[in-house]
Amino acid sequence: MVNAAGKFGPYNQPVPARSVPVGGAWDTRVLAGRGPTGAELVKSRIALRVRLRSVAPGDRLPDAGVLAEELGISEITVRRALEAMCQDGLLDRRRGRAGGTFVAADWDAVVAVLHDADEAAALDSFHLLLECGLVAHSTGEVPDGRLDGLRALVEELDLVEDPARLLELETRFHLDLAEALGGAGIREFAADLLGRQCLLGPAPDPAVVRARNRCHADLLDELTRGAMDPAVHAVKAHRRAGLN
């Protein structure tokens, strides 16, 4: 069973009251339970890269040293994590001049074995809590223009037909929302959380993503108006759309 506690403690636990904004951004140093294992961090970030289509099944991953620098962990930790993922069937190791570490061609089938409904629900509950908190804190204080990129994502989601592109854009929306309302540190927090969600639960159907996108649009409208309660309601409606 995959451990959903990870970087920030059990995801079904409330964010502590000390998680307060500092200088306009949230200080993730005071969030509970910080400190995932290197393997958990590497696995979640690779899963997120696949969802965002920066890599695809069959693609070669960056070298361990590059990943280590990007994630802020040691190269030996990354190498061990990649080896574990090879043993799990998520990655393939190839030798020779054209060798390296590649995303397994059957990535989706292997990830399906990792699905855990209970832990996926816990992650989803934590994500809901995080976004409700960000929205409640930020309503009425979002500078003009900060939501423009999010509106562009909503508009593109309405036009896209490809299911993989729909999932990519929705994931980008939640990453960009975390940064717009909480800063770069909260975006990193959300990236770890979303990567775990990619591993533990099945991808939503395109119809669900489209229903959620209506909630995205409502959320941006309410944030622009400075209406906190309707904005929080839009976040909760987004989750309910995925449960129907």
- pLDDT by residue (tens digit) across 154-202? 999 999 999 999 999 999 999 999 999 999 999 999 999 999 999 999 9
Given a cut of 80, whether residue 236 has pLDDT beyond it is yes
pLDDT at 244: 59
Given a cut of 60, whether residue 34 has pLDDT beyond it is no
Cα separations in angstroms, 216 against 36, 101, 162, 198, 243: 30, 36, 19, 20, 16
- pLDDT by residue (tens digit) across 48-80? 999 999 999 999 999 999 999 999 999 999 999
> What does residue 8 show for φ and ψ, rounded to 5 degrees?
-125, 30
pTM for the whole structure = 0.84
DSSP string, 44-63: HHHHHHHHTTSS-TTPBPPP
Q: Map tokens 């994931």 to a residue.
A: 171
Given a cut of 60, whether residue 11 has pLDDT beyond it is no
Q: Tell me what the mean pLDDT of segment 206-218 comes to.
A: 96
Assigned fold of 113-243 = Four Helix Bundle (Hemerythrin (Met), subunit A) (1.20.120)
